[in-house]
């Protein structure tokens, strides 16, 4: 039995834009207003040029799997119904990597280089999470 009854993301001023966009059904990521670099994880300054002009812009939500593992434990209560579930590093078209849940994959079909696209599935009444599924077509 998990100690976590109410899964909630760790929302802080640096990543609040990410969770706000997830609730809107969009994937927005931090982008520097000076050098235009995308970056993740979010922070108060751009890691490329140290500018504090960070904005949130809509990302394509497309990328490829760069690493993955299958998790058999109840680490993320929101995904309890899917155990074992796949966690992957997604290398996005914007050039940043995002750790995400992968859904709707055929068994043992997860591989490095698999093209994926973001989907927004409602996990609970209060929370939506960006997740990825294999790109079709």
Q: How far apart are CA 132 and CA 104, in angstroms?
A: 9
Helix (H) or strand (E) holding 16: helix 16-23
Q: Which of residues 40-59 bind Zn ion (CB under 5 A)?
A: 46, 48-49, 51
Q: How far apart are CA 61 and CA 126, in angstroms?
A: 22
Q: Which is nearer to Zn ion, 31 or 105 (CB)?
A: 31
Binds Zn ion by CB under 5 A, chosen from 22, 29, 32, 88: 32
Q: Which is nearer to Zn ion, 32 or 98 (CB)?
A: 32
- Per-residue mark of binding to Zn ion, 70-89 (x: CB under 5 A): --------------------
Quick one: which segment of 26-34, 85-93, 97-105, 110-118 binds Zn ion (CB under 5 A)?
A: 26-34
Distance in Å, CB of 50 to Zn ion, minimum: 7
- List b or e across 18-55, with b for residues whose CB sees 16 or more CB atoms inside 10 angstroms: bbebbeeeebbbbbbeeeebbbbebeeebeeeeeeebe
């Amino acid at each position: 039995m998990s100690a976590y009854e109410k899964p909630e993301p760790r929302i802080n001023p640096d990543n609040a834009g990410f969770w706000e966009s997830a609730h809107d059904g969009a994937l927005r990521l931090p982008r520097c207003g000076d050098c235009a670099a995308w970056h993740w994880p979010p922070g108060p300054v751009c890691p490329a040029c140290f500018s504090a002009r960070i904005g949130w812009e809509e990302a394509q939500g497309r990328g490829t799997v760069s690493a993955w593992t299958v998790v058999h434990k109840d680490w993320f209560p929101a995904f309890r119904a899917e155990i074992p579930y796949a966690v992957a590093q997604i290398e996005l078209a914007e050039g940043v990597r995002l750790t995400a849940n992968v859904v709707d994959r055929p068994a043992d079909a997860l591989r490095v280089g698999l093209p994926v696209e973001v989907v927004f599935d409602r996990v609970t009444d209060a929370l939506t999470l960006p997740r990825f599924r294999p790109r079709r077509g």
